Structure 1
Amino acid sequence: MEIRRFRIGDEGALFQVFLSAVHDIASRDYTAAQIEAWAPTDIAPEVWVSRMRELRPFVVEAEGEIAGYADIQPNGYIDHFFVSEAYPRRGVGTLLMSRVHDEAKLLGISELTADVSKTAEPFFLRHGFQVVERGFPIRRGVTLQNALMRKDLHEAIVWMVR
């Protein structure tokens, strides 16, 4: 596996990873209506391309294809963090989380936050995040459930030094 920065031309493969993560993996925790509201297959390509170019995520390649991607914004917010259904529990998420932490350190970011799905919550907990509050965002008229999660990177450093 290799991790790299987003490149122009990755957008289509990232869309497939997003759809796979939501439609195939998260479907065990959300209804069909919630899945379609969260990750509609009819997102306008130009909207998706623009969003990915704005996020500039890290991309994991495995076996010649994109297996997952994640971003970190200058304020420490992780907007997208998705792993393809073809690569579950194979270290893709951990590799991405490690790269997000490295980037946070490089940028001097003191805390990470993310709005995390029910499906991803155990993964984020294992990586030292804590639930701040439960959320019920509405997408396309359908109520979803997620959690705002936070990790104080200064506390993590102090804990590791002890």
Structure 2
Amino acid sequence: MMIRQFITGDEIALFRVFFSAVHKIASRDYTAEQVNAWAPADIDQQLWAAHMRNLRPFVVEIDKEIVGYADLQPYGYIDHFFVSGAYARQGVGTLLMKRIHEEARRLGLKQLTSNVSKTAEPFFIRQGFEVVERKSPVLRGVVLQNAFMRKILDV
């Protein structure tokens, strides 16, 4: 298992990870309607690719297959944090979170924040995050539940 920086050309593989994470893992905590609103199969691939190039995530590979990715924005916000359904609970998320913390130290950040799904919330709690606020965002006309979480970092 290795972690590296995003490179142009990763976009489609990252979509596969995202789609798998939502449809295979998050589907335990969300309805089919919510899952399909969150990760539709017919997503605009050009918009997706532009968003990934903007996020510039860290990417985890196993045997040259992309199995997870996560980003850290310069102000400490984690926008995407996804592990393929086929690789859940195999250390991919832990490796990504470790890399995020290393980058946060490098940037001198005082805290990390993220809007976290019900499915990912226990993992984020184990990583030292706390729930700040419960939210109900609407995505493609469907209400989903998540939590805004924060971790204060040792400076």
**What TM-score, normalized by structure 2, do the two folds share?**
0.98
Percent sequence identity over matched residues?
67
The alpha-carbon deviation at position 86 of structure 1 amounts to 1.0
- For 1:118 and 1:63, how far apart are their aligned partners in 2? 30
Residue 160 of structure 1 corresponds to: none
Q: Matches of residues 56-95 of structure 1 in structure 2 within 5 Å?
A: 56-95=56-95
- For 2:89 and 2:36, how far apart are their aligned partners in 1? 24
Residue 21 of structure 1 corresponds to: 21
Structure 1 vs Structure 2 CA RMSD: 0.7
Give the letter for the 1:109 counterpart: L
Task: Provide the aligned length of Structure 1 versus Structure 2.
Answer: 155
Give the letter for the 1:145 counterpart: Q
Residue 8 of structure 2 corresponds to: 8
Q: Matches of residues 85-124 of structure 1 in structure 2 within 5 Å?
A: 85-124=85-124
Q: Matches of residues 124-135 of structure 1 in structure 2 within 5 Å?
A: 124-135=124-135
The alpha-carbon deviation at position 64 of structure 1 amounts to 2.0
- CA deviation profile, 1:109-153 (whole Å, cap 9, x unmatched): 110000000000000000000000100000011000000000000
Residue 139 of structure 2 corresponds to: 139
The alpha-carbon deviation at position 89 of structure 1 amounts to 0.8
What residue ranges of structure 1 are gaps of 5+ in the alignment? 158-162
What residue ranges of structure 2 are gaps of 5+ in the alignment? none
Residue 149 of structure 1 corresponds to: 149
Give the letter for the 2:41 counterpart: T
**What TM-score, normalized by structure 1, do the two folds share?**
0.94
The alpha-carbon deviation at position 63 of structure 1 amounts to 2.2
- For 2:95 and 2:9, how far apart are their aligned partners in 1? 22
The runs of 4+ residues in structure 1 deviating greater than 3 Å are none
The alpha-carbon deviation at position 80 of structure 1 amounts to 0.1
The alpha-carbon deviation at position 40 of structure 1 amounts to 1.0
- For 1:107 and 1:18, how far apart are their aligned partners in 2? 26
